[in-house]
A = this chain, B = another copy of it.
Amino acid sequence: MNDRDGDPQDIVKLTHDKLSADAVSEAVVCQSCGAVSMFIGTTRNNFEGKKVVQLEYEAYVPMAESQLKKIFRDIRDRWPTVRHICVHHRLGVVPVTEASVIIGVSSPHRRESLEAVAYCIEALKANVPIWKKEVYETEGSAWKENKECLWAGSGQK
């Protein structure tokens, strides 16, 4: 049980360990909040018919952390009642169906945390310097490009 009701918490973790939805939900739950909204990004097993066996993530770690904190500030500007925000992003090898990112947001009422989580994953994909390479069963590997990233090529959009 987490009763850090004093100050809003901004929590970022980039880790090679397996992610846990319980860990993120426990990081943001608070006594004055009725709502926790979460988003979990998982590895899909195929891309354009090619079988994906795993993904590999890398990050520009200090900048990824500072960009996430910037997103958190934007969330607090837009939804001032948001309480705690937590992003856990996995790095290194992520097997198919395991989580690559888990976002959790708590708020007294549900609308704010639901909207904030949707905003957070959108902004993360557009702005946070993290990259993933898909490793295919038969045809090598490819660096992916988020369609939300402004300088992504049109080929993969």
Contact = CB atoms under 8 A, between A and B. Distances in A.
Contacts of A40: 25, 29, 35-38
B39 A114 contact: yes
A35 B42 CA distance: 6
A97 B21 contact: no
A118 to B, nearest CB: 5
Nearest to A40: B36
A34 interface: yes
Interface string A108-138: 1010001001100100000000000000000
Copies in the complex: 2
Interface string A91-111: 000011111000000101010
A97 B42 contact: no
Contacts of A118: 110, 114
A33 interface: yes
A24 B102 CA distance: 14
A69 interface: no
Nearest to A98: B1
B31 A96 contact: yes
A17 interface: no
13 contacts: A1-B95, A21-B21, A21-B38, A29-B40, A31-B97, A32-B44, A36-B42, A37-B37, A37-B38, A38-B39, A39-B114, A41-B110, A42-B106
